[in-house]
């Protein structure tokens, strides 16, 4: 392996438990802190979804789930899962852990800011969770927090819940911005010798572009959050129209609820890709490593990530077809939405073509990656339905949309997160996760996903409205729909319970897992070539690695091993040198 001289590295090992594990500036520790908090928040989110399912499956059987509580569970479930779990885990967790290791850096370029980012994130989570304990409880405005109802009496949590929600979001945005500046600057400035942009693993590309999207899209949430907070606290009328609320004439006048929707979705749609792009990147790496093949069409994959990133900021109003708009706008937003299918389909084809003739190892990370391709394809195809204005309008307020977005941005990224944890856990802890428990976890989660969300497409086409607390007295909904709902609830409870085996596995394996060695998957990318496992402070020992090739050199005919590490010096006349040279090196 080749390493460059790095005599300038003066960092000393931090001393003492607190400096090392609590107020740590080491990207690996911060990543674990971010991931742990995100997973805990996620467990709360899962619990809330199960409470909702109890009501939907067995309406009225649980007295404590009344309508206000139902809406509070729904709102908090949505916001926790999208922002505090998925965004935080992909960028703060995986971004933090993998970027420096994959580009050959010693740490993020601004370690102190990185630490601050985590602590500010933690504050945002605490503020959010505090809303469960304030008078009136958390907000029940729906995760989109649409005004005017979000801040009016009659909506659960309008007293304090909505204020804490908005404050928590604003704090989260500050944390995400601090982290984001770090990730992007690290990718641009701290790559090691030889690590050109087009040699970076696709994981880094996905996180990199997603972070840029986050940096530019979160300001829209910030703007809408600040203005709504002022409407609620100071009585401004940014979003609030003149209205009579519960018989009282309010002081609001002239504000525009539609303005909020535009701002919210200008953030909200890129948010889908802030979650999806890292997943795309990670899945590419998992598939390539576990099929022992170079990723098919690396450059097209990079361009597709960039194209999806750019397109994602010009499609936001497809979330607002039912709000009403000029038909030309509808046409524009439907068209741009459907165009996203092109780069997305390129990615799916490339994953499949990577698998084609590959030496497929059905390890647990690979199983999750394959499951992702399947759920993402289903969710993406229903996205094509909903991208059309005339199809969206009748389906928009039904369970069809619930099925669509849970398949495409709920379950799919989560499957990638599971796969990624099984894949990188040996690097993080030095031990493997338990295989049997992992297989149980995979099959229950994957099949459970389909059992839960697939029937919802059918319920949606049947016309079952989403967001409703109860469905009594709707003649067009047959009794069989209720049976289906009970079925979904039972499965959801089961699948949620089995997630505990995953948590158990993660804790148990730290102490009792099989020792992994430095590179158990025989992967070529840089993070597996660290001198120590888990990597020590500064990652690379005395010398930084030198990179000679891309991250996907697998199964070179005639080579000694079936992978060649990114930092293995080329040997003149060996199997690799007989391969057609990559264009980049010749340029």
Partner 1 sequence: MNQAAILKSAGGGYGKPAADNPLERRYAAISVALWLFMAVASALFLLFIAAYIMRMDAADWSPLAMPWQLWLSSAILVFASVLLQLAVSAAGSHQIERARSLLLLAGACSITFLAAQLWGWQALQAIHVTASGNPAGSFFYLLTAMHALHVAGGLVGWGMAAAGSWRQEQRRLAWRIRLCARYWHFLLAVWLLLFAALGWLTPDFVRMVCGTR
Residue linked to tokens 């500064």: 538
Q: How far is the CB of 199 from partner 1 (least distance, A)?
A: 8
- Residue whose C-alpha is closest to residue 12's, from 548, 536, 510: 536
- Are the C-beta atoms of residues 575 and 187 closer than 8 Å to each other? no
At its nearest, how many Å lie between partner 1 and the CB of residue 471?
A: 37
121, 180 in Cβ contact below 8 A? no
245: which strand partners?
248
Instruction: Compute the distance between CA of residue 446 and CA of residue 436 in angstroms, rounded to an integer.
Output: 15
Residues 181, 529, 570, 363: is their CA dihedral positive or negative? negative
246 or 587: whose CB is closer to partner 1? Answer: 587
Rounded to the nearest 10°, the torsion over CA 184, 186, 189, 194 is: -110
Nearest-5° angle of CA 398, CA 453, CA 391?
Answer: 35
Can you list the positions of beta strands (E) in 203-321? 244-245, 248-249
Q: Write down how long the chain is.
A: 587
Instruction: Tell me the H-state helices in 105-246.
Output: 111-130, 161-189, 202-233
The pair of three-digit structure tokens given for residue 174, joined into one six-digit string: 């500050």
Nearer Cβ to partner 1 (41/214): 214
Q: How far is the CB of 545 from partner 1 (least distance, A)?
A: 10
Q: Which is nearer to partner 1, 562 or 584 (CB)?
A: 584
Q: Least CB distance from residue 123 to partner 1, whole Å? A: 18
Q: What residues line the site for partner 1 (CB under 8 A)?
A: 4-8, 109-110, 177, 180-182, 184-185, 188-197, 215-216, 219-220, 222-223, 226-227, 230, 234-238, 251, 253-256, 259, 262-263, 266, 544, 546-549, 570, 576-577, 581, 584-587
Q: Tell the smallest beta-carbon distance from residue 474 to partner 1 (Å).
A: 37
Say if CB 231 and CB 151 are below 8 A apart.
yes
- When the beta carbons of 247 and 573 are compared against partner 1, the nearer one is 573
Specify the residue, 65 or 187, whose C-beta has the smaller distance to partner 1.
Answer: 187
**Nearer to partner 1 (CB atom), residue 121 or residue 252:** 252
Give me the helix-helix angle, 479-512 and 27-57, nearest 10°: 150
* Shortest Å, Cβ 279 to partner 1: 23
Q: By C-alpha distance, which of 251, 410, 228, 383 is closest to 319? A: 383
Provide the terminal-to-terminal Cα distance of the chain, rounded to the nearest Å. Answer: 25
Cβ closest to partner 1, residue 59 vs residue 257: 257
When the beta carbons of 7 and 390 are compared against partner 1, the nearer one is 7
Least distance to partner 1, CB of residue 188, Å: 6
Nearer CB in complex with partner 1: 227/437 = 227
CB nearer to partner 1: give 166 or 444: 166
d(CA 237, CA 250): 11
Rounded Cα distance between 462 and 354, Å, is 39
CB of 568 vs partner 1, minimal distance in Å = 11
Do residues 110 and 185 touch, judged by C-beta distance below 8 A?
yes
CA distance 270 to 264: 10
Pairing of strands 248-249, 3-4: unpaired
- For the bound state, the minimum distance from the C-beta of residue 250 to partner 1, rounded and expressed in Å, comes to 12
Q: How far is the CB of 219 from partner 1 (least distance, A)?
A: 4
């Amino acid at each position: 392996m080749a390493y460059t001289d790095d005599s300038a590295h003066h960092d000393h090992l931090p001393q003492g438990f607190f400096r090392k594990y609590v107020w740590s500036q080491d990207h690996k520790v911060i990543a674990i802190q971010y991931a742990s908090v995100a997973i805990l928040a996620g467990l709360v989110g899962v619990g809330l979804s199960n409470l909702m399912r109890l009501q939907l499956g067995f309406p009225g059987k649980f007295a404590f789930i009344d309508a206000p509580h139902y809406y509070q569970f729904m709102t908090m479930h949505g916001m926790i899962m999208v922002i505090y779990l998925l965004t935080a885990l992909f960028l703060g967790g995986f971004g933090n852990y993998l970027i420096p290791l994959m580009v050959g850096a010693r740490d993020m370029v601004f370690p102190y800011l990185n630490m601050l980012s985590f602590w500010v994130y933690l504050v945002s989570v605490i503020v959010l969770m505090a809303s469960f304990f304030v008078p009136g409880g958390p907000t029940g405005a729906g995760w989109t927090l649409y005004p005017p109802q979000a801040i009016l009496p009659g909506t659960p949590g309008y007293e304090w819940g909505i204020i804490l929600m908005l404050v928590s979001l604003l704090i989260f945005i500050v944390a995400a911005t601090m982290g984001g500046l770090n990730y992007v600057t690290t990718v641009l400035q701290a790559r090691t010798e030889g690590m050109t942009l087009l040699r970076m693993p696709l994981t880094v590309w996905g996180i990199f572009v997603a972070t840029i999207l986050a940096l530019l899209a979160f300001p829209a949430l910030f703007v809408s959050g600040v203005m709504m907070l002022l409407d609620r606290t100071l009585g401004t009328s940014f979003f609030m129209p003149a209205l009579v609320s519960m018989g009282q004439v309010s002081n609001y006048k002239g504000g525009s609820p539609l303005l909020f929707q535009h701002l919210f979705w200008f953030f909200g749609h890129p948010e889908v890709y802030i979650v999806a792009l890292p997943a795309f990147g990670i899945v590419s790496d998992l598939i390539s490593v576990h099929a022992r093949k170079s990723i098919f069409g690396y450059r097209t994959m990079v361009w597709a990530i960039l194209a999806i990133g750019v397109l994602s900021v010009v499609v936001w109003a497809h979330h607002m077809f039912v709000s009403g708009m000029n038909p030309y706008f509808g046409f524009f937003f439907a068209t741009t939405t459907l165009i996203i299918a092109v780069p997305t389909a390129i990615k799916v084809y490339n994953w499949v073509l990577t698998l084609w003739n590959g030496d497929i190892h059905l390890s647990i990370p690979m199983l999750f990656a394959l499951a992702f391709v399947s759920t993402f394809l289903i969710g993406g195809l229903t996205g094509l339905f909903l991208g059309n204005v005339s199809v969206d309008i009748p389906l928009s307020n039904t369970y069809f949309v619930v099925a669509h977005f849970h398949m495409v941005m709920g379950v799919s990224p989560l499957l990638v997160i599971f796969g990624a944890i099984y894949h990188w856990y040996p690097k993080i802890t030095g031990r493997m996760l338990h295989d049997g428990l992992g297989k149980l976890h995979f099959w229950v989660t994957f099949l459970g996903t389909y059992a839960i969300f697939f029937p919802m497409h059918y319920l949606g086409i049947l016309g079952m409205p989403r967001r409703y607390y109860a469905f009594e007295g709707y003649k067009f909904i047959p009794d069989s729909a209720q049976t289906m709902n009970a079925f979904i609830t039972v499965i959801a409870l089961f699948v949620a319970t089995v997630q505990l085996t995953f948590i158990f596995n993660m804790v148990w394996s730290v102490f009792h897992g099989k020792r992994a060695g430095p590179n158990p998957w025989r992967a070529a990318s840089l993070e597996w070539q660290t001198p120590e496992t888990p990597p020590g402070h500064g990652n690379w020992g005395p010398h930084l690695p030198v990179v000679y090739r891309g991250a996907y050199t697998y199964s070179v005919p005639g080579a000694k091993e079936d992978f060649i590490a990114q930092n293995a010096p080329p040997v003149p006349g060996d199997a690799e040198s007989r391969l057609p040279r990559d264009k980049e090196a010749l340029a």
